[in-house]
Amino acid sequence: MSSTLTDDAKTMLSKPNPAVIATVRSDGHPVSAATWYLLRDDGLLVNMDVARKRLQHLRNDPRVSLTVLDSDDWYTHVTVIGHVTEIYDDDGLTDIDALSRHYQGTQYPDRERPRVSALIAIDRVHGWGAQKNNDQPDGRPQ
């Protein structure tokens, strides 16, 4: 496990891959949900509807993990373990539009509901498959 992203991991994370975010409920249990993400120079951007329960989780406990599966090889994944450094209103829907363009090629369609963005700082990185960054056995023939 590393605390930084390799260039290969950055390349993978720059693509619109499927991802799952995990947050911590107030009782300490983890909760996960599929999400869009965007790799930026200052961390990973996620965005959610203002009514999402995970927004409350993030405000109560900034610890988070984001697992990104390589869309070409789901055995290959990168998990970022980090913490939210900033939560802010997505005024003008700028961030959700950037995410929607990244994943779907178009502006986000729902212009009525308020959105909130969160910026995730990377504390540790766990890679597997082509992104493996540890000495754990992977079960593949040698």
Strand partners, 82: 64, 122
Is the pLDDT assigned to residue 128 strictly greater than 90?
Answer: no
Give the model's pLDDT for residue 129.
72
pLDDT in tens, 46-104: 999 999 999 999 999 999 999 999 998 878 899 999 999 999 999 999 999 999 999 99
Q: Where do the structural domains in the chain lie, given as residue ranges?
A: 7-131
SS3 65: strand
CATH of 7-131, one of 2.30.110.10, 3.30.420.40, 3.40.50.300, 2.40.110.10: 2.30.110.10
SS3 103: helix
Decide if pLDDT at 139 tops 60.
no
Give the integer Cα–Cα distance in Å for 39 and 28: 27
Which band of pLDDT confidence, cut at 50, 70 and 90, is reported for residue 127? confident
Summary mean pLDDT of the chain: 91
3-state helix, strand, coil in the chain (%, to 5): 25, 45, 35
Quick count: other Cβ atoms within 10 Å of Cβ 112?
5
Taking a C-beta distance cutoff of 8 angstroms, is the pair 6, 138 a contact? no
Beta bridge partners of 43: 40
Predicted model pTM: 0.88
For the segment 6-37, what is each residue's pLDDT rounded down to a tens digit? 999 999 999 999 999 999 999 999 999 999 99
* Token reading at 12: 């993978």
Model pLDDT, residue 134: 60
Distance CA 46, CA 65 (A): 12
**Would the pLDDT of 1 be above 70?**
no
